[in-house]
Amino acid sequence: MDQTHRHRQAPAQRPVIIDRSQHRCSVHALLSEVIKILGSLSRPTRWYASWQAALTLVLIAAGVYLPGLVKTPPIDRDEARFAQASRQMFESIALPDDRLDPEFHAGDLIVPMVQDRPRLNKPPLIYWLQTASAWIFSAGDPSHDAIWMYRIPSVIGALIAVLATWRLGLVLMDPRSAFIGSAMLAVCPVVAFDAHQARADQVLLALCTLLLWQLADITRRAHIGRPARAHSILLLWVCVGLGVLTKGPITPMLIGLALLGMGILGRDWKPLRAVHPWLGITIVAAIVLPWVVAVAGHVGFREYVQIVFDETIGRSSSASEGHWAPPGYHLALLIVLFWPGSMLTGVGFVRAWRLGVRWGGQGRRWRDRSAGRFPELFLISSVLPIWIVFELISTKLPHYVLPAYPALALITARALPPAGAGALAIARSRLAKLGYALWSIVGFVLAGSIGVCGVALSEVPSIPLILLSAAALGLVAVSAVLVFQSRFIIALRLSVVAAAVIAFGVHRFILPEATALSPKIVAAFNAHGPDRPLAAQGYKEDSLVFLTRGRITKLEDHAGHLWLREHPTGLLVRLTNPNPVPGETVLDTITGFQLGRGRFVSVDIVERTP
C-alpha cells in the first residue's frame, strides 16, 4: 500500500519584537532596588555627630591618603625641595660635628637650606614638622630616612582638616550635612594629591579649618549676644600665628577677609569686636617675632624683608616662575579639583547668598541689605572675599584656594537635602542641568583616565587599573543618572566611592611609575660607582638632589663637557644627544616620564672617555 507522506508546512516565523519599554522598566527596577538599598544605609541624625562618624571620616581619608605614600618617589618640583631642606635641617642637629658640612648645615633649625642655598621663601614650621617626623620614624638617624617620613605631616594635616570641617559644620548646620561636606573634602582630587606630598599646603589647610571652626563659634555667639569663650579666642589666634609660620599671610588674610565680608554683607561689626583683634595681634606677634629676629640675625634684616616682599607683593603683582593665569582660573578648575563635591556647588552658593544676605525694600538695593541667616552669611564670607583675591593676583597655582574649600564643601552639602526635595527651583534650571552634565563628563574622564594610563604606561600593571577604571565608570554612570533624577544625596555617596577608587588607582599604581625616572637615574649612578662626583645638565629635577642626598651639581646648558674635564671620574646625566660627543662615553640611556614638564624624555649617563 502506497504510503503518502504528509509534510506539515512549517509555521511562518514571527519577527522577534524587542519590547524596549520592558527593558527600560527592568533597568529602572534595578536602579530603584539599588537606591532602596543605599537608602537603607542611612543613619539616624545623631550618628552623624558621634565618634563613629568621626572614625568613619578618618577611615575614608586614610583609604585615600595612605595608598602610594611609601611607594611613590619624590615628586618634582616643590616636594623634593621641601623634603631636602627638612633633611638638611635634620642632619644639622643629628649628625656628629665631624660629619657636618659647613655649607649644607649652616642654617641649623633657623634657616632651611637646599644644598648650599638658603630657602627662606617659605616660613619654617613645615620644615620643623617634617624634621620631627623623620627623626621619629628614623630613630634619630638621618641615613635611615625616606621620603614618606617627610610626608606624614601632610597626611596628618589633611586628616585634621577633614575632622575640623566636620566640627565646623556641626556649629553651623545639621550633622548629616556636616558629615557629607567633610567626606567631599576628604576625597576631592586636590586634597588627595597634596596629602601625598611633603609640602606645606595640608598643614596650612588644617590650620585654616581649625581657625574657621573657632571663628564660627565666636561669631555665632556674638550674633546671639553671648560672649566668646576664652579658649576659642586663644585657639583662633594661635592658629593664625602658626599659619603665618607655615605660609606667611594666608591665615591673617582668611580671618580678616571673613570678618570684613560679614561686616560689609551683614552690616554688622560685632564679630570683629568679638575676636579681640588687639589681643590676637599680640598672640601672633609672640609666635612669629622670635623666628623673624633669629633669621634676620642669620641673613640680615634687609635681605629677609626683601624675600618676604618678593613672595607676597611680588607674586601678587607679577607672575612668579611663569605661573600666570587670567581671573576665573580657579573657578574653571573647581569642577575638576573639587569633584565630586562640585555637583551642587553653584546651586549651593546661590542658595547661601539668598539666605545669608537679606534685602529690604522693593528694589533690592545694596544699601538696604542686612544680615540674614548666620550660617550662610558666615560661609559666604569665608569663601567669596578670599576667592576674589586669589583670582585677582597674578601668580596662580591650583592649590592656592584650598583655604576656601572647607566652607565651600559645607555650602554644597547644605544644599543637597532641599535640592533633592524639590525645594530649590534653581536646582531644576537649565543652567543647573548643564552643570550636572559637565560634572558627569568630568567624572567619566577621571574614571576613564586611570584605565587609559594602564594601557599607555608600559610599566604600570594594566589589569588592576582597567578593573578599577571599570568600577569607577560604573559608579559615575549610576551617579549621573541619579543626579538628573534629583537624588543628589545617594548620587554623592556613590561618587565619593568613585573618587576614592580613582584616587587609589592614581596613587597606588600610576604616580609611582610617573615619578620613576629619577630613581632609575640614581640606580644607574650607583651601578657605575657610588662615590663618584655627579652632575645634571638638561634634566635637573630636584628629585635628583633628594635621591643623591644633595651630592649632585646642577649645570647650565652646554656646561657638561667642561665639568667632565674638571671631574675626570664624574658621572653626568643629560638629555640624550643623538650626535656623539668626542671625549665622552655613554654608559646608559634611560627613558621615562618627566612629571615636572609633563613629557616623556630620554637621558644619557655619561662619563669622560679614558
364, pLDDT greater than 80 = no
Q: Between these two residues, 213 and 8, which has the higher pLDDT value?
A: 213
Task: Give the closest residue to 94 by CA, choosing from 62, 141, 32.
Answer: 141
Contact between 557 and 540 (Cβ < 8 Å): no
pLDDT tier for residue 23 given thresholds of 50, 70 and 90: very low
pLDDT tier for residue 122 given thresholds of 50, 70 and 90: confident
Cα→Cα distances 329→353, 435, 518, Å: 22, 17, 31
pLDDT tier for residue 20 given thresholds of 50, 70 and 90: very low
Lowest mean pLDDT among 237-241, 318-322, 472-476: 318-322
Which residues lie below 8 Å from residue 14, measured CB to CB, with a gap of 6+?
none
**Is residue 340 reached through a cis peptide bond, with omega within 30 degrees of 0 on the bond before it?**
yes
Which residues lie below 8 Å from residue 479, measured CB to CB, with a gap of 6+?
340, 440, 443, 491, 492, 494, 495, 498
11, pLDDT greater than 60 = no
180, pLDDT greater than 70 = yes
Contact between 166 and 179 (Cβ < 8 Å): yes
Instruction: With H, G, I as helix, E, B as strand and everything else as coil, classify residue 83.
Output: helix
457, three cell numbers:
604606561
338, pLDDT greater than 50 = yes
Contact between 509 and 517 (Cβ < 8 Å): no
Q: Between these two residues, 112 and 303, which has the higher pLDDT value?
A: 112
In this prediction, residue 4 carries a pLDDT of 44
Q: Give the C-alpha separation, 402 to 288, whole Å.
A: 23
Mean pLDDT score of the chain: 89
In this prediction, residue 208 carries a pLDDT of 98
The percent of residues in the chain predicted with pLDDT above 70, rounded, is 89
Q: Give the C-alpha separation, 424 to 414, whole Å.
A: 12
Q: Give the C-alpha separation, 200 to 137, whole Å.
A: 19
57, pLDDT greater than 70 = yes
pLDDT tier for residue 419 given thresholds of 50, 70 and 90: very high
28: left (phi over 0), alpha (psi -120 to 50) or beta: alpha
Q: Give the C-alpha separation, 288 to 293, whole Å.
A: 9
pLDDT tens for each residue of 511-556: 999 999 999 999 999 999 888 999 999 999 999 999 999 999 999 9
Provide the strand spans (E) within 108-259: 113-114, 117-118
Average pLDDT estimate for 78-89 = 96
Dihedral, CA of residue 219, residue 224, residue 225 and residue 231, to nearest 10: -40
Average pLDDT estimate for 61-89 = 95
In this prediction, residue 349 carries a pLDDT of 96
pLDDT tens for each residue of 371-404: 789 999 999 999 999 999 999 998 888 999 999 9
- Of 209-223, 441-455, 570-584, give the range with the top mean pLDDT: 209-223
**Is residue 199 reached through a cis peptide bond, with omega within 30 degrees of 0 on the bond before it?**
no
In this prediction, residue 44 carries a pLDDT of 75
Q: Which residues are 140's β-sheet partners?
A: none
Lowest mean pLDDT among 20-34, 143-157, 180-194, 507-521: 20-34
Task: Give the closest residue to 496 by CA, choosing from 331, 338, 330, 334.
Answer: 338
Average pLDDT estimate for 290-316 = 78
Lowest mean pLDDT among 211-215, 245-249, 395-399, 564-568: 395-399
12, pLDDT greater than 80 = no
In this prediction, residue 108 carries a pLDDT of 87
Average pLDDT estimate for 300-316 = 73
